Amino acid sequence: MTKTDETKYSFTRRNFMKGALAAAAAMGVGAVAAGCSPAGTSEGAAEGAAEGTAEGTTAAAADYQNIYADGVNLMPGRKAECPGPRGPVAFEAREIGDDEIQREESFDVVVVGAGVGGLIAGLKAADMGANVLILEKMTKGRGCFECFGAVGAKCQEGTKIDKTVLLDEIYRSAYFRTRPEPARTYVDRSGEATDFWQEMLDKGANGFVITKVEQAPSTCGFPAMTDLIDSELGFYDSPCLPEDAGVRSGLSGIYVCLEMQDVAKTAYDTIDMRFSTPAVQLTTDDSGAVTGVIAKDADGYFKVNAAKGVIMATGGYDCNPEMMQAWTRPEDYANSSWWNPGWGTTGDGHMMGLKIGAQMDPIPQPVMNFRWGTPDSFCAADTWGAVSLGILVNGRGKRFVREDAPFQVVSNAQNAQPAYGKNCWYIFDETMATGMDIEGYEAKSWLFEGSTLEELAEAAGIDPEGLVAEVERYNGFFDAKKDEDFARDLNSAMPITGKTFYAFTTNSNILATVGGLCIDGNCSVLDVNDNPIKGLFACGNASGSFFAGNYPRHIPGTSIGRAITFGYVAAESAVNGTLGVGPKLDGNAAPLAVYAEGAAVSEEEMASYESMGDWNPYNPVHGGSTQYTPEQLGGIPDACDNCHDYGAGEPTVADGMTWKAQQ
């Protein structure tokens, strides 16, 4: 990749807002070829991709919908434009010819992506003696958030964490829609992975130290099984951090990833790490096993053989608007801003896996969405006092959530408001706004003020009557010492009774997508038949099988925690050649009855049913009616035998029952 090409990876949100949407094709979306027919997709799907499956559907979006090896079930839902950043897509669906391959290289393990999970995977594989190539399409790699979760790390000595409670909360937060093995791998091996992470940081020059993060017990009902899962760790006590680092989200994590890159470059001569070098496809043998990747650099395409396996660590797809529109709920992005220090997360690993027949989490996939967003990104720290003490209302001035709930809970509630939460506001008074840059926010038209609630509502475009009534009702809860609407803990709140009132605009904020390629407990990627694909592993937000429907922020650190743990385990599995077994489906389970449309019930059959008395399946005793038409009664009578055995003249429970209506 040339220096000119590298400039494509230098994004700012301002540049994006000015022109990236208009330049969509030029920015890399066209890398997913229109009209391609990925392995396993139908010709009809490919034709739909070429033509655009619906008005306004781009070729890229059609490909994202049609990439499934066994087709895709498109559920009805409203369409919405995704306003998020557009990163450069690396995946290429077209077949790359042998004549385009400039050279061939060989390694034991290839890691695709130099985020926190990929770096751990590369370091672990090298530490086990493997020859490792780490490929990163962006110029500088990626950062991570500032905290993560673990169980049983050395730095947690003396901390009691009930694994059973943590596992149960992970399962329940996913409504048990995930298989248990990946979560158990996280809980059982995160401590070991964290200790390895510290060992790697100790090889660096800056003295990063993983330490326990003190947490206060929850007062908002999350999690439900305990008031505190004490599993959060971070880097706040590291002497190398800048003085202004504090606990600002992502700042320490970015430094940590730079340190890990440096360790990879200096501590192991068996790691080759290359930036501005995207992997674009996986390669497989005749058995379907993954044998390596096709990558691209300034000299063109080249093939990399991976003797022990490929580890996908490409992150999510929050910087791919068409993919967001194809795979997530519109309410999760339509009126959101983004917090993302790197725009390389465009779903490359998802698409590379799907193209060779991998299985992916079902759609719609969960998004890591938080409250406290502004039109640009996250709110600044100086707003936290006002945000945490005030109330959150919609355009009618009505509260719609308990404001002290976890970030994603408040975000989800806001996105459920009209127009996906477009017109929502934090309401507070001057006693709550200490240290807030009032003039600065007013200059941006993010903040409005008034000497009365009516004046404030008129300025912000909120319904005055609704706001006045809601604040009056809310203030009354403090006398009763109970929030009768949303059960907010009033001990950490205060009534809105000042002399100046403020309305601060807010929206949800997207950090990442957290649905990915399905994996087993060894971090092997599964195919559509639930068999592990030999030679392919996944970690971080490229991996799935962990979240469903929602990102549960009330469980500390599962995002970075699983990235570290799964990167560690994936490397171990690859180097050791660990491969799990597929499902056992040939047991003695009885086959399901296959139902088909039955013939309408004739008048003669109707008469025979009526002659059965209380055995008549269409009698009110059964819950039906003799007034049904023959067409309505069409079906398979034998299906009733699943619960009943209808036999005219035989004694029944109903024979001993009496009915008040007949007395």
Instruction: Name the residue with higher pLDDT: 175 or 616.
Output: 175
Given this model, what pLDDT does residue 57 score?
58
Tokens of 314: 């490409």
pLDDT confidence of residue 640: 45
Q: Where are the alpha helices (DSSP H) in 237-382?
A: 251-266, 321-327, 348-355
What confidence score (pLDDT) does residue 250 get? 58
Identify the three-state secondary structure at position 363. Answer: coil
- pLDDT over threshold 70, residue 23: no
Strand 132-135 and strand 101-112: the pairing is parallel
Read off the pLDDT of residues 271-322 as tens digits, 9 standing for 90 and up.
999 999 999 999 999 999 999 999 999 999 999 999 999 999 999 999 999 9
The single residue listed with the structure tokens 């326990």 is 212
Query: What does pLDDT average to over the chain?
Result: 84
Rounded distance, CA 188 to CA 525, Å? Answer: 20
Residue 634, pLDDT above cutoff 60: no
pLDDT exceeds 90 at position 658: no
Q: What is the largest CA-CA distance in the chain?
A: 92
Mean pLDDT (whole number) for 516-529: 97
d(CA 553, CA 406): 7
Local structure of 531: helix, strand or coil: coil
- The per-residue pLDDT for 22 is 34
Least confident of 91-100, 242-251, 530-539: 242-251
Which of 99, 190, 185, 202 lies closest to 152, judged by CA? 190
Residue type, 587: G
Look at residue 594 and give its three-state secondary structure.
coil
Look up residue 591 and give its two tokens. 């086959």
Q: How confident is the model at residue 27 (pLDDT cuts 50, 70, 90)?
A: very low
**Residue 629 phi/psi, 5° resolution?**
-80, 160
Is the N-terminal amide bond of 242 cis, ω within 30° of 0? Answer: no
CB 355 within 8 A of CB 39: yes
pLDDT of residue 224: 78
Stretch 581-602: mean pLDDT, rounded? 82
| Per-residue confidence band for 660, with pLDDT thresholds at 50, 70 and 90 | low
Q: Write down the pLDDT at residue 464.
A: 98
> Among the listed ranges 8-22, 177-191, 495-509, 519-533, which one has the minimum average pLDDT value?
8-22
Q: How much is the average pLDDT of 488-516?
A: 96
As a whole number, mean pLDDT of residues 375-403 equals 93
Confidence at 72, pLDDT banded by 50, 70, 90: confident
Least confident of 190-194, 353-357, 445-449, 651-655: 651-655
Is the bond into 223 cis (omega within 30 degrees of 0)?
Answer: yes
pTM (two decimals): 0.84
| Confidence band, pLDDT 50/70/90 cuts, at residue 593 | confident
- All structural domains of the chain: 98-366+511-576 (3.50.50.60), 375-505 (3.90.700.10), 603-648 (no CATH)
Q: Residue 143 in contact with residue 253, Cβ under 8 Å? A: yes
**pLDDT band (50, 70, 90) for residue 44:** very low
Task: Tell me the pairing of strands 424-429 and 532-538.
Answer: unpaired
Q: What percent of the chain has pLDDT over 70?
A: 81
Q: What is the pLDDT of residue 25?
A: 32
- The predicted model gives 75-93 an average pLDDT of 90
Does pLDDT of 614 surpass 60? no
pLDDT digits (tens, 9 = 90+) for 198-213: 999 999 999 999 999 8
Answer with the residue of higher pLDDT: 14 or 544.
Answer: 544
pLDDT at 34: 28
Q: To 10 degrees, what angle do helices 43-51 and 59-66 make? A: 160
pLDDT at residue 51, rounded to an integer: 38
pLDDT of residue 612: 57
- Residue 337, φ and ψ in degrees, nearest 5: -105, 175
Task: Give the pLDDT score at 111.
Answer: 98
Percent of the chain residues past pLDDT 90, beyond the cut: 67
pLDDT at 656 over 80: no
Q: Is the pLDDT of residue 359 over 80?
A: yes
